[in-house]
Amino acid sequence: MPDPGARRAGRTPTIFAMGGGGFTMEPGNPALDDYIRSLAPAREPKVCLLPTAGGDSEDQIRRFHAAFDDQLCVATHISLFRLGTRPVPLREHLLGQDVIYVGGGSMINLLALWRAHGFDAILREAWQAGIVLAGLSAGSMCWFEWGVTRSIGRPVPARGLGFLPGSNSVHYDGERERRPVYLEAVAHGDVPPGWGVDDGAGLLFRGTRLAEVVASRPRARAHRVHAVAGEAVEEVIEPRLLKARPHTDPRAPLAVQEMRDLRAARRGHRRG
């Protein structure tokens, strides 16, 4: 049986790390989610949500499908908390995706559960195979060596998977108590230099190199953070402002309807 990840061989490993935004934080502004889908070369990309950090919240899952089911993609999710009743061949399913989208919640709980299920190894394999990894909040910090998590109630540095070098602090403008903790940790050398990312902004990495910074709203920024003489220094990075989804293309509704009909046919029933 062929390796499910082999067809993506040669693609550049890609990670898109958002400070906050997407379907859970900006339901009326799909700019970041549209950008995520555009990172996959497939016309109808397969996008799988991992809502582990939020305890596989039904609300997060519902919001994801509400945002993605009517788009030109195939949206699925994996609930690790429900594998006993809803088993999924984890490696096969994940390596068959074009995009793996990780939701927000507890970074510490997320990594503990992933490691228990061997997800850390599968996700590294997916990343190296060129499958796009994306996420916000905990789903953003997890890819770096370090993040600043509120999993224990107050912001503290915590180790991530280390796919990307450096550190990441999310909700940089929205949860202001994170920023001083992050700056102090960088200044003292407790965590390596990295990035502070506002809600509505995201960092695109090709391999381990920052390729682009984008934003879904004006005034959302990213900050490069490093230490100089024992003090943390923030350098503002102006992002590219993403355009709102156009609503003037008369072919778009027809294309979505065609995809709905095709999916219905695949499931073996007809639409009413």
Tens digits of per-residue pLDDT, 2-19?
455 454 556 899 999 999
| pLDDT tens-digit series, residues 44-64 | 999 999 999 999 999 999 999
- Of 137, 167, 169, 216, the active-site residue reads 137
Q: Where are the domains of the chain?
A: 6-266
Q: DSSP code of 14? A: E
Among this protein's residues, is 269 annotated catalytic?
A: no
CA 79 to chain centre: 16
What pLDDT, on the 0 to 100 scale, is given for residue 205? 98
What pLDDT, on the 0 to 100 scale, is given for residue 149? 96
What is the Cα–Cα distance from 169 to 156, expressed in whole angstroms?
10
What pLDDT, on the 0 to 100 scale, is given for residue 3? 56
What pLDDT, on the 0 to 100 scale, is given for residue 222? 98
- Of 77, 171, 216, 223, the active-site residue reads 171
* Helix H or strand E encompassing 227: strand 222-228
What is the Cα–Cα distance from 92 to 79, expressed in whole angstroms?
15
Helix (H, G, I), strand (E, B) or coil at 221: coil
Listed as ranges, residues in the chain with pLDDT below 70 are: 1-10, 246-272
* CATH code for residues 6-266: 3.40.50.880
This prediction's pTM: 0.88
Which residues face 210 on adjacent strands?
Answer: 205
Among this protein's residues, is 137 annotated catalytic?
A: yes
- Max alpha carbon distance in the chain (Å)? 68
